């Protein structure tokens, strides 16, 4: 008898149907010489510190570095203790009994790093020594399973992948437990959570939040002139920006007096825009967040369901390319979409049926190729499943479609010595952009307009001149889409698609784990969603402010660890060397965390919260925060470049308003002013101005 072990019961049922196992037993399906069983994800994991004799949070125990790690069945929490999950124990007994009765095991867990870890931990925990072979497939269609079973590979071929997975698992244990205990000891009270990837991710969210909040907008002015040629009205903008309104007004007067614009140059350039690459998981999650507001975890859950329903290829992929042999299937897959209500028209209307080969690159396909659909028709999908399926199917059509051709025009003009510019873009051949019916390129450049046919030396009448007052804007708060990009490139801002691909190996987390990392930050109550923005809570900011200059928050270092894990997976780095470096790192970060001065509540001034009336507001060096996480009241010490004293903050909290404070600096004029600071109805700080008779005057938002 051969035993096949899958990662989930649903996958086991699909495999059982292929091999002819039809008799359902307790925890497995048997028949035709096979027994097909399953895990429930991670049935086995690393034991907690108590298993190694480390009880409680003791400074002298840190960092905790087990000489040998112990594997235990999946744990569930009962009160303050962790106990073995009864369901996990039952299934492990089934697996152990089956392994003892067989002469060959076929490993059919998900074909990736975590799938390998799930099987190897079970294999090791039950003490099995029976040889095993590996089923490695990129989709769960009947054909893919049959072909995979005919080309099983020795389990030893994936030893390096397992070593990489085990190294990741043990590194996260050492760093997460040692750092969390060190911070909790330093804080003196409460339990605080840090992690190898979790904390740098929190750091990116918090640093962007503080950068956004502390941003001082600068006012500038720009001229906008309306003109027209024939039936086409359009506007042009001044090439220069003005810091002073009086200068802008004077320049506008010069333009009005000139009464006409002279076209000084017209530059036209034909641009070829290549199709985008196929989706990997991270790219899919980013686009689903931008277009549909889906969280990374929701997108992954939907994609995993589509995979298990045999409609798409393996979703936890980091590649945006396919291999040459998979390319042979693409024409057939494209043909299956002819009946699709959204894409059939595009497929039938294509004048050139040749497929673009840009996404074909064997060297850039590692464990799995990019996301594509399968030959199985996708029927009976929910609304959300249909959205994700259509994104994957549509991107497949785009990636293998024709290039988009457009003509970009740059025009310069002059009016009374004042220079103006205008940009226009015309789609000559939509190509791949026709897949979703886009007639124009989506662009964030608000300066692009529809231009008439202009020639150098041409005169145009000035119809109207306006002075636009604008302000510089901070970088927006992170959304899940922008955070995923930052995680993928280890915090470096990269716009070019090829450059992003090149930096993937130095990203933090993996496509398979990033959604879980973000969800962990939510579950720890370190961040919340405000519409699409990710905003740190008081608790999250407290952690960040404590560790932001420590190694545990270093994004680049975490990216280097990910690159090292990838090298272990390919056999280019020794797992033991990596483990020793993690132990050194753990010693460094625990030393830093234990030696730092954590801002505790017990040695800080505090007063009752005026907003929730339940919590206490503690005054820290940079901020006053309510300790009731649900409340969220926050008062920043520095407002309009003026640092409030503890007494002034206490007055605001106790009375709802401070006295008049001098020394604020206007963000618009740069001039000093005086005002009281008060709370508005939502307990946001505002400036309160008194008139000359001492009566309350106007209010405006403070910064």
Selected catalytic residue, list 158, 242, 279, 314: 314
Q: Which of 318, 396, 296 is nearest to 138 (CA)?
A: 318
Residue 595 sits at φ, ψ, to 5 deg, of: -90, -10
The dihedral formed by the CA atoms of 639, 644, 646 and 648, expressed in degrees to the nearest 10: -100
Asked if 111 contacts 138 with a C-beta cutoff of 8 angstroms, the reply is: yes
Element (H, E) at 419: strand 418-429
Strands 219-229 and 672-679, how do they pair? unpaired
Query: DSSP code of 74?
Result: P
Buried b (16+ CB within 10 A) or exposed e, 290-313: eeeebbbbbbbbbbbbbbbbbbbb
Asked if 400 contacts 334 with a C-beta cutoff of 8 angstroms, the reply is: yes
Quickly list H helices, 377-495: 383-399, 480-488
Residue 46: alpha-carbon gap to chain centroid: 27
Instruction: Give yes or no: 242 in active site.
Output: no
**Per DSSP, which regions of 141-252 are E strands?**
153-154, 219-229, 232-238
Quickly list H helices, 273-424: 281-292, 296-308, 324-327, 330-336, 344-349, 383-399
Asked if 516 contacts 296 with a C-beta cutoff of 8 angstroms, the reply is: no
For the record, the structure tokens of 623 come out as 């901020």
- Please count the helices (runs of H) and the strands (runs of E) in the chain: 20, 31
Task: Return the SS3 of 323.
Answer: coil
Task: Return the SS3 of 77.
Answer: strand
Task: Return the SS3 of 217.
Answer: coil
CA distance between the termini of the chain = 72
- Which residues does the annotation mark as catalytic? 314
């Amino acid at each position: 008898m051969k035993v096949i072990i899958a990662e989930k019961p649903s996958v086991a049922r699909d495999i059982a149907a292929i091999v002819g196992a039809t008799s359902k037993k307790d925890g497995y399906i048997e028949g035709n010489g096979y027994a097909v069983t399953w895990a429930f994800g991670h049935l086995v994991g690393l034991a907690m510190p108590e298993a190694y004799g480390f009880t409680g949070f003791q400074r002298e125990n840190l960092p905790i570095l087990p000489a040998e790690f112990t594997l235990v069945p999946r744990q569930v929490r009962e009160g303050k203790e962790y106990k073995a999950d009864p369901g996990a124990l039952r299934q492990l007994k089934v697996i152990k009994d089956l392994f003892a009765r067989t002469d060959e095991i076929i490993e059919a867990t998900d074909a990736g790093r975590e799938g390998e870890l799930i099987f190897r931990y079970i294999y090791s925990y039950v003490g099995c020594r029976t040889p095993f072979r590996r089923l490695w497939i990129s989709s769960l269609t009947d054909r893919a399973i049959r072909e995979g079973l005919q080309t099983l590979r020795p389990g030893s071929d994936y030893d390096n992948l397992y070593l990489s997975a085990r190294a990741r698992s043990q590194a996260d244990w050492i760093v997460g437990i040692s750092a969390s205990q060190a911070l909790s000891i330093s804080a003196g009270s409460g339990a605080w959570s840090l992690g190898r990837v979790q904390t740098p991710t929190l750091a990116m969210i918090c640093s962007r939040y503080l950068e956004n909040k502390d941003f001082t907008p600068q006012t500038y002015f720009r001229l906008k002139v309306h003109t027209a040629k024939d039936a086409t009205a359009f506007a042009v903008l001044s090439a220069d920006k003005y810091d002073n309104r009086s200068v802008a007004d004077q320049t506008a007067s010069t333009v009005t007096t000139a009464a006409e614009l002279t076209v000084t140059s017209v530059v036209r350039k034909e641009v070829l825009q290549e199709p985008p690459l196929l989706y990997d998981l991270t790219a899919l999650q980013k686009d689903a967040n931008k277009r549909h507001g889906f969280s990374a975890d929701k997108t992954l859950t939907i994609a995993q369901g589509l995979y298990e329903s045999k409609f798409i290829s393996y979703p936890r992929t980091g590649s945006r390319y396919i291999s040459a042999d998979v390319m042979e299937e693409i024409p057939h897959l494209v043909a299956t979409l002819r009946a699709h209500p959204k894409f059939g028209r595009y497929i039938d209307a294509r004048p050139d049926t040749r497929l673009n080969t840009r996404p074909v690159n064997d060297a850039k396909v590692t464990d799995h190729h990019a996301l594509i659909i399968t030959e199985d028709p996708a029927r009976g999908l929910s609304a959300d499943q249909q959205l994700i399926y259509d994104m994957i199917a549509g991107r497949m059509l785009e990636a293998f479609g024709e290039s988009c051709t457009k003509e970009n025009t740059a025009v310069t003009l002059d009016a009374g010595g004042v220079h103006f510019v205008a940009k226009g873009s015309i789609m000559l051949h939509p190509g791949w952009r026709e897949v979703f019916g886009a007639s124009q390129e989506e662009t964030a450049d608000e300066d692009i307009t529809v231009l008439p046919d202009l020639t150098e030396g041409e005169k145009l009448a000035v119809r109207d001149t306006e002075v636009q007052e604008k302000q510089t804007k901070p970088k927006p708060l992170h959304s899940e889409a922008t955070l995923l990009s930052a995680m993928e490139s280890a915090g470096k801002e990269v716009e070019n698609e090829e450059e992003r691909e090149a930096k993937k190996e130095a990203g933090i987390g993996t496509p398979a784990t990033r959604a879980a990392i973000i969800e962990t930050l939510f579950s720890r109550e370190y961040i919340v969603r405000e519409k699409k923005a990710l905003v740190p809570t008081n608790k999250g900011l407290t952690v960040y402010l404590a560790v932001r200059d420590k190694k545990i928050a270093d994004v680049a270092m975490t990216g280097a660890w990910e690159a090292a894990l990838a090298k272990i997976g390919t056999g280019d780095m020794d797992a033991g060397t990596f483990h020793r470096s993690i132990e050194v790192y753990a010693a460094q970060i625990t030393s830093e965390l234990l030696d730092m001065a954590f801002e505790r509540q017990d040695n800080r001034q505090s007063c009752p919260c005026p907003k929730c009336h339940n919590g206490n507001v503690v005054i820290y060096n940079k901020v006053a925060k309510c300790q009731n996480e649900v409340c969220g009241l926050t008062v920043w010490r520095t407002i309009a470049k003026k640092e409030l004293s503890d007494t002034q903050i206490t007055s605001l909290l106790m009375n709802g308003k401070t006295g008049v404070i001098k020394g604020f600096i206007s963000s618009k004029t740069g001039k000093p002013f005086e005002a009281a600071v008060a709370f508005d109805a939502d307990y946001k700080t505002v400036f309160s101005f008194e008139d000359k008779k001492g009566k309350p005057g106007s209010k405006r938002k403070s910064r």
